[in-house]
Amino acid sequence: MTQPVRIIISGGGTGGHIYPAIAIANTLKNINPDTEVLFVGAEGKMEMQKVPQAGYKIVGLPIRGLQRGFDLSNFLLPWRFLNSLLKARKVIKEFRPQVAVGVGGYASGPLLYIAGLMKIPTLIQEQNSYAGITNKWLAKRASKICVAYEGMNAFFPAEKIVLTGNPVRKDILSADQKKSAAISHFQLWDNVPTLLIIGGSLGAGTINKSIQGAIETLKQTSVQVIWQTGKYYYEACQKAVAASGATNIRVFDFIGQMDLAYAAADVVISRAGALSISELCLAAKPSILVPSPNVAEDHQTKNAMALVKADAALLVKDTDAQQNLVTTALELLNNPERKEVLSQNIVKLGYPNAAEQIAKEILNLVH
């Protein structure tokens, strides 16, 4: 008979932190249904919605990140951090976790710091090829550090590192078997090259502007487009497509069934967030990465370069996107040999059992 296990998972801020955290929780529950998982996030951030939707309880801390430029809210940061430490201590005392897990983002800082002081084993999951500030700060007290890229001993003690990859949704693994379902779902034409454009859960301004500026070009081609714009950009992009009369461009604010989107795609344009890259590796899709310049320590460029060096993806700089992105995509769509090379190389970088490996490391710390 399995014993109940209590795990706290903290972090969030973006889908790139939240979805791997939920995948880890689901895997822990699959291994031992008696596992209790409590999430800790940042008040007002997307994890406060997404985690309960996945069926888990979450507690919010008043922690915030440093805002760029002069912002009065930055003066409240010391108070918010101290208050978050106190609340984290209260949560830990009440829940009594056997292991605390941090998935990155500033919400994981106070919780894992206090857990370390209280002698509770801690595990960090670093998704990017360039470690975040919070995880570097927490690494000294961490028991284990699960990473998705080689060479992370540049940031963390080598003896604590386990190369696991990033957890992603399992349905993406079988995307290649769903082509006909994908064509039906997105109302596409059969045997027409398909370009998938994704900009992360919030959308990507530069990518959207690049596509918007090339609608007439795309309209004249023999390709079809699935364009996920993000909620903020959706209305303007939808209107631009409608005004052009293009019938080969499907516009969505959000795509729930990403497995079908990957199944339909012959080439993918994407930001270079850790979760997006992990999904592209498992889906084995020829990809053009446009790293966001608006992220801490430019980690998306570093993520993308890890693939470019392995000849597993193409890179278009954010500053060059409006001029070169669509041209690059059309050239790749019309180059079967290059697509095949990229597809074969990117699939080698995937870790299909990442969630299981991370769950195993967590349970080893329990025992």
Residue whose C-alpha is closest to residue 152's, from 11, 16, 39, 306: 306
Q: Is 14 annotated as a binding residue?
A: yes
Residue type, 178: K
Q: Is 169 annotated as a binding residue?
A: yes
The contacts of residue 321 (CB under 8 Å, 6+ apart) are 206, 207, 209, 210, 290
Q: Is 128 annotated as a binding residue?
A: yes
Q: Is 120 annotated as a binding residue?
A: no
285, HSE (Cβ side, Cα atoms, 13 Å): 35
Cβ neighbour number for residue 343 with a 10 Å cutoff? 17
Q: Is 201 annotated as a binding residue?
A: yes
User: How many whole angstroms from its chain centre is CA 158?
Assistant: 24
Q: Is 16 annotated as a binding residue?
A: yes
Residue whose C-alpha is closest to residue 276's, from 16, 98, 48: 16
Q: Is 271 annotated as a binding residue?
A: no
Say which residue the tokens 């454009």 belong to: 197
The contacts of residue 315 (CB under 8 Å, 6+ apart) are 288, 289, 290, 291, 304, 305, 308
Report the distance separating Cα 239 and Cα 229, nearest Å.
12
Per-residue tokens: 6:
């209590």
Cβ neighbour number for residue 348 with a 10 Å cutoff? 10
Cβ neighbour number for residue 82 with a 10 Å cutoff? 12
Report the distance separating Cα 188 and Cα 182, nearest Å.
8
For CA atoms 13, 17, 21, 23, the dihedral sign is positive
Q: What angle do CA 254, 256, 261 make, to 5 degrees?
A: 90
The binding site for UDP-N-acetyl-alpha-D-glucosamine comprises 14-16, 128, 169, 201, 255, 300
The binding site comprises 14-16, 128, 169, 201, 255, 300
